[in-house]
Structure 1
Amino acid sequence: MAHPLESLVVRHTRRLPAPSGPAGQGSVAARQFDAALMSVGFKLSAALLERLSELNEETVVDTATRTLDSVREMAGDHVQHNVYFVDFPANVPDTFDFWMQCIADALADDGSRDSTLAQLSTGMVDLLTLPSYGNYQHTYAEMLAAHDELIAAAGDRTTVLHLGGAPDDEVTALYLALAGSTTPLGEENLRDLRLLAEHCADSPQPEAIPVRENRAVINVTRLHAGRDLLVDTVTDVLRLACALSDGDVTLTEPTRFRPLPRPVRRALLAGLDSVVAATPAKLADVTAHREAFKRLGERLHPHEYPRWPHAADVFAVARGEKEARSFDSRIEEMFAMNDVTGAARLLTAAPGKLFRSLDRLLRTCNTQDERDAVVAAAEQAAPQVSGRVLLSVREHLHNRAQESGARRIFVNRRGRAWVTTDNRPLVLPPERKRFIDALDAETRRRLPEPGHLLIDPGILDIALPLSGKATTAGFGVLPRGSLSPVDGDLLRFFVYWKQKSHDTDYDLSALMLDAQYATVCWLSYTALTEVEGEHSGDITEAPDGASEFINLRLNAVRGTFIVPQVNIFSGENFEAVEESFFGFMLRDAEQQGRPFEPRTVHMKSDLRGPGRVALPLAFLRGSDGRWRAKWLHLYLHGNPNANRVEENRVSVATLLRGIVEREYLTVRYLTDLMAERATATTLWDGTTVPDGPVTYIGLERPDGLHPDSLIITPENLRALIPA
């Protein structure tokens, strides 16, 4: 019998929990399963194929059915991808000729002739009123019949599924990895953690849960199980209340609190009371989320529970009836008095906040004594700062070497971005170098002894996942700022969406820019063909789901940058539709095949963010002529309706420049530090696997690694961030 969370393990780890069942002759079914997997770009490892071959045929077939469903969804092959132009990318018409044909069809239609003539008399025609525009003119089966089979090529993606351990062991290991993550998780991973926490309530628990959002999700399970809550700040209790109402535990978006049962109210009030009783100064944290605490107080009725007076103080502060001076206000007072040394000394009580304030402290210093005091305070506090903050500050200081007037990009945790000119005074080189050396030394100290370090060079330019918010959910998705090679003759983008309750029109576009970020051309529903490639045609509603594609010949691209984007023209936003995702495929010129072929999909990313324009990634042509993907994960605000590539070219170019010119801290930085302590360091050549245990860091887990090896791939890259 399958474990209910088996598909979760496959998605997160690329491991299939060890199938179990009666022994038998399953080798034929196992080979057929392997062949079916290869058609969607996956493959069984040798150990997994051997394991399945020892089971009876019925067990193998059941396992294959479940697993195929999981991996097809990972690659985006769980839906039907039709195209407007049945022969796409062949025979895509000129845009103007196509529009004229749509008008001719409307004039030949008795139902639309009069309205079309009336529009023509005004000199303007609304394309959406033309019967043949925006709707599929053929069935999915007819589209498939119009295309030859895909020719296999060496560049086709192959993702290996490995044999896992016992199902419960795999689920527990995944729970411990997510719960103990040293970096915040994205929305999808938080949802997965909640499911895992419910299932693993009686399983081993992580030694530490450093991320507050993770703690809130796990506290829900602990509360329902009658266990002690993991809370040491009043904000921990607020996050738990948000989780109980299916709200935002990151506290970015307001939560509408539900009525809470009396036992839950008692537990939350007791938690607040214990925190404040132990450390009254923590009442100051209430002011940062005053409105949320006021709304929560309306649900908890603290006046009904006089035995918890400290909990009542929390809501008195929220209502302004009791004063609790915040730590930040004391810091601001020091800055107002130009007492930099005093501010640095006070900030040592909050090491993380001290490190986040280093740039400001150094800019405010007027004397060398003040600068020395700030540096000394930071060096003293460094061992108490989380690894994620250390690395974030390291990346920040590296980029502060730029001259004044450079671009400064801001990206919030939901992917909304903006760029401004950086006019801050420079951090003086001596202090900057001293800080960087101290950060490198502290990071090196925290990294584990790697033993034999085996590195896949392809992962070295992947940005460190300092926050799960910098990566959207999906398959083959990398953190913002990552660079990855693009090998192939044809680059094909795709977007799929399915509306929930209203007609919804998403438009896939691609903007080509030169080395100065000026527009060269674009492909969209307003420019169906260019020298570079073709657009598959505009679909204007998606009650049953709809897809759009852009096909690009990379050797024909005029320019240095390719920026695909998804514009919401009308209808439901990215978070309101039933489903929406973007991705890209790579093919050789002679492969043919359907518009969508899962084994050529190299990335598929969910579209779940704010704004009306999504910018998942961009493609950069290097000085060597090779193309690389630069991961963006950005959203533009856009307009309420009618967003088009033509209208946001300047905004897109500005954001792209900010991301491209920023240097991100990559895996290479940590592997260089680890190599200093390794017994041996080997660059993996794709074929030779060492006999003994290794610390392997790479894009894909090689088959045949020693069972005691530590394996780091993009799926668990967060494990590389030191605690």
Structure 2
Amino acid sequence: MLRLACALSDGDVTLQEPTRFVSMPRPVRRALLAALDGVVRDDPGKLGDVAARREPWKRLGERLHPHEHPKWPGAADVFAVARGEKRAPSFAARFEARLASEDVEGAAHVAAGAPGMLFRSLDRLLRLAPDSQDAVLDTAESVIGRVSGRVLLSVREHLLNRAAEPGRTRLFANRLGRGVTLPDTRPPLDPGAAERLTAMLDGEIRDRLPSVGRLVVDPDVLDVALPLSGKSAGKGLGVLPRGSVAPVDDELLRFFVYWRQRERRTDFDLSVLMLGEDYGDPEWISYTNLKTVAGEHSGDITNAPEGASEFINLNLAKVEAWFIVPQVDVYSGENFEQVEESFFGFMLRDGEQKGRPFEARTVRMKSELRGPDRVALPLVFLRGDDGRWRAKWLHLHLKGAPEFNRVEDNRVTTAELLRGIVERRHLTVRHLVDLLGAGETTLWDGTPPGEPVTFIGLERPDGLHEDSTVYTPENLSDLIPA
């Protein structure tokens, strides 16, 4: 309801920025108040949501005049809670109160009023109540139909990582892509409970997926991570969701960064950090170390009024490290959000391109760099046990220092973040393909079928029937069930 009011005032429906509510016509005010009253009447516990946005609710109340409409007492209660005249514990407060009294089953029933919250709390509830696990899962099963598909898939991905051995690192990333890692000290889940929850989630997701006749899948898309939360991913060419993996077949790799300052002299520094199998033994290429056995830096540029680029060339055959982490540091001046424009990318090259600074057909990824932080970690290159290299998308940032960021100064933090995402298992397109109820599934071999099909790949191939349904990274989120 608050988002709707913001939309009616041409404000920020994400609620990240304050909205200045406009005067609304009487019919609109009545409609909003009647709807608020209906929400509270149907579920009085919803009043607990008000305190989290107390100030916007108070400002909205000044525009809606709820005192003029006593026939909608529920709406008046909303603004009374916002003004602090009425107490309404939030779902979280009621949930924690039940847990504090060791009533885990009761806590699950409270959380069922906000099904998404219940599913995000299942790991904790199952660990706290070994004797009440069936009751907790029964409650979850009763409301699973009201949980969004993204939450269901997120919990399913969570279970993938709970099955891993203890002592691993947990990665937390906010909507800006700023990452934090912590040791995973949680005890393991009961195998029986985890198995039942996994089956419950897969069954619900399967039921929500569209039915398809013939499904054709490009093998290169199978390891693309599902876009469960892509807010921190930059726009650009060949950009995949965080956790996606793609093979790197050529030996010559070129990274590049481009930026153009807006008002102040700005120095971006392109660097590459190389780490050993245990995330140690750091080696780097940067403006402080322009050349190693494996590669070389194009040189430091410290001002970009008309735009500037830096490059790093790497010969993967000569790299002894297990992890290659390209990094863009703001050394001085404007950050990624303040500059006129900036992007990072990489090219795969062969001997014929030697000496050419840029050739469009060799570009495999180019991503816009945006955000308030001062260090960007777009992706990492991983050496497999077979010696082949793969790229894994990170879309992570470090806050960094206000000035003078250098790769050698943040190598420890970078290594910790890297461990968190490299060891994390992500839910990929492969999982949805396995759940889709396709009449026939075939892998793309370059020959377009003569009839309409459902196609999933990195891009739409030439010659595909015009009536085919196509999913690529640009619209992959459409495949995620509602």
Other structure's SS at 2:189 match: coil
Residues 549-578 of structure 1: CA distance to partner in whole angstroms, max 9, x if unpaired?
A: 111111111211110011111111111111
Structure with higher strand content: 2
Structure 2 residue aligned with 1:262: 23
Q: Distance in 2 between matches of 1:600 and 1:652?
A: 28
- Residue 224 of structure 2 aligns to a residue whose secondary structure is coil
* Equivalent position amino acid for 1:688 in 2: T
How far apart, in 2, do the equivalents of 1:659 and 1:304 lie? 49
What is the DSSP-based 3-state SS (H/G/I as helix, E as strand, rest coil) of the residue aligned with 2:400?
coil
Q: In structure 1, give the amino acid aligned to 2:111.
A: L
Letter in 2 for 1:354: L
Give the equivalent residue in structure 2 for 1:356.
Answer: 120
User: What is residue 407 of structure 2 aligned with on the other side?
Assistant: 645
Note the residue ranges of structure 2 that are not aligned, 5 or more in a row. Answer: none
Q: Is the 8 A contact 1:419 1:655 kept in 2?
A: yes
Q: Per the alignment, in what secondary structure is the counterpart of residue 284 of structure 1?
A: helix
**1:610/1:635 contact within 8 Å kept:** no
Residue identity matched to 2:91:
F
Structure 2 counterpart of 1:584 = 346
Q: 1:621 to 1:297 in 2, by over 3 A?
A: same
Mapped pair 1:244 → 2:10: yes
Q: Aligned match of 2:377 in 611, 615, 619?
A: 615
One-letter amino acid of the structure 1 residue matched with residue 164 of structure 2? Q
Show the 5 A alignment for 1:19-30. Answer: none
**2: distance between equivalents of 1:448 and 1:663?**
25
CA-based RMSD of the aligned residues comes to 2.1
Percent of residue pairs identical: 59
Shift of 1:323: 2.2
- 2:451 pairs, out of 683, 688, 692, with 692
Q: Does 1:570 align with 2:329?
A: no
Could you give the per-residue CA deviations for residues 416-468 of structure 1, whole angstroms, max 9, x where no partner exists? 11000111121111100111111111212222222111111000000011123
1:365 aligns with 129
CA contact (8 A) 1:509 1:523 kept: yes
SS of 1:537 mapped into structure 2: coil
- Contact 1:487–1:627 (CA<8 Å) still a contact in 2? yes
Matched position secondary structure for 1:617: strand
| Whole-angstrom CA distance in 1 between matches of 2:52 and 2:337 | 27
* Cα distance per residue 1:642-681 (max 9 Å; x no partner): 000000001001101100000000001111122xx32222
Match of 1:392 among 130, 133, 154: 154
Query: What amino acid sits opposite 1:572 in the alignment?
Result: E
Specify the code of the residue in structure 2 equivalent to 1:276.
L
**How far apart, in 2, do the equivalents of 1:239 and 1:510 lie?**
44
How does 1:365-444 map onto structure 2 within 5 Å? 365-367=129-131, 370-444=132-206
- Write the distance in 1 (CA, Å) between the matches of 2:279 and 2:109: 45
TM-score, normalising length: structure 1: 0.63
Q: How far did 1:307 drift?
A: 4.0
Equivalent position amino acid for 2:93 in 1? S
CA 1:238/1:534 → structure 2, altered by over 3 Å: closer, same or farther?
Answer: farther
* Structure 1 residue 331 corresponds to structure 2 residue 95: yes
Deviations 1:157-189 (A, max 9, x none): xxxxxxxxxxxxxxxxxxxxxxxxxxxxxxxxx
Instruction: Decide whether the 8 Å contact of 1:511 with 1:519 is kept in 2.
Output: no
> Deviation at 1:511?
0.4
1:722 maps to: 481
Counterparts in 2 of 1:529 and 1:330: CA distance versus 1, 3 Å:
same
1:270 and 1:311 in contact (8 A); partners too = no
What is the total number of aligned residue pairs between the two structures?
A: 476
**Shift >6 Å, 4+ stretches:** none
User: Does the aligned pair in 1 maintain the 2:265–2:304 contact within 8 Å?
Assistant: yes
Query: Once the two structures are superposed, what CA deviation does each residue of 1:446-500 show, in whole Å capped at 9, x if it has no partner?
Result: 2222211111100000001112325321111000000011122211111111111
Q: What CA distance in whole angstroms lies between the structure 2 residues aligned with 1:352 and 1:424?
A: 21
Q: Secondary structure at the match of 2:4?
A: helix
Q: Which residue of 2 aligns with 1:205?
A: none
**How much does 1:348 deviate?**
2.4
Post-superposition offset of 1:235: 3.4
State the structure with more CA Rg: 1
Q: Which amino acid aligns with 1:684?
A: W
Distance in 2 separating the partners of 1:416 and 1:645: 17
Per the alignment, residue 428 of structure 2 pairs with 666
Q: Is the 8 A contact 1:237 1:271 kept in 2?
A: no
1:519-543 alpha-carbon deviations (Å, 9 max, x no partner): 3411111011111111111111221
SS of structure 2 residue aligned to 1:699? coil
Match in the other structure for 1:184: none
After superposition, the Cα gap between the structure-2 partners of 1:291 and 1:538, relative to the gap in structure 1 and judged at 3 Å, is farther
Q: Is 1:625 matched with 2:394?
A: no
Q: Distance in 2 between matches of 1:239 and 1:329?
A: 27
d(CA) in 2 for partners of 1:316, 1:347: 24
What SS is found at the alignment partner of 1:355?
helix
| 2:254 is equivalent to residue 507 of structure 1 | no
Which of these residues, 108, 121, 124, is aligned with residue 344 of structure 1? 108
Contact 2:18 2:56 in 1 (8 A): no
Between stretches 447-456 and 376-385, larger displacement belongs to: 376-385
The TM-score with structure 2 as length reference comes to 0.93
Provide the rounded CA distance (Å) in 1 between the counterparts of 2:66 and 2:385. Answer: 70
Counterpart of 1:482?
Answer: 244
- Contact residue 500 and residue 576 of structure 1 kept, 8 A: yes
Alignment of 1:188-337 (within 5 A): 234-237=1-4, 239-240=6-7, 244-245=10-11, 247=12, 249-251=13-15, 253=16, 255-258=17-20, 260-263=21-24, 269-270=29-30, 272-280=32-40, 281=44, 282-294=46-58, 296-297=59-60, 300-303=62-65, 306-307=68-69, 313-337=77-101
Change beyond 3 A, Cα 1:271–1:477: farther
- Whichever residue aligns with residue 715 of structure 1, its letter is E
Amino acid aligned to 1:681: T
Contact 1:493 1:582 survives alignment (8 Å): yes
TM superposition shift of 1:411: 0.8
Q: 1:433 to 1:696 in 2, by over 3 A?
A: same
CA contact (8 A) 1:284 1:324 kept: yes
Task: Please tell me whether the aligned partners of residues 283 and 324 of structure 1 are also in contact (alpha carbons under 8 angstroms).
Answer: yes
Deviations 1:22-58 (A, max 9, x none): xxxxxxxxxxxxxxxxxxxxxxxxxxxxxxxxxxxxx
Q: Does 1:703 align with 2:462?
A: yes
1:369-399 deviation per Cα after TM superposition (whole angstroms, max 9, x unaligned): x111011112222222221111111110111
Q: What is residue 443 of structure 2 aligned with on the other side?
A: 683
Q: Unaligned stretches of 5+ in structure 1?
A: 1-233
Shift of 1:303: 4.8
1:601 aligns with 2:368: no
User: How far apart, CA to CA, are the structure 2 residues paired with 1:560 and 1:417?
Assistant: 21
Give the 3-state SS of the residue equivalent to 1:451 in structure 2.
Answer: strand
CA distance in 1, matches of 2:28, 2:54: 17
**Cα distance in 1 between the residues matched to 2:204 and 2:381:** 35
Would you say the 8 A contact 1:513–1:521 is kept in 2?
Answer: yes
Per-residue Cα deviation, 1:49-70 (whole angstroms, up to 9, x for no partner)? xxxxxxxxxxxxxxxxxxxxxx
**Residue identity opposite 1:286 in structure 2:** V
CA apart distance, 1:238: 5.6
Q: Please state which structure has a larger fraction of its residues in helix.
A: 1
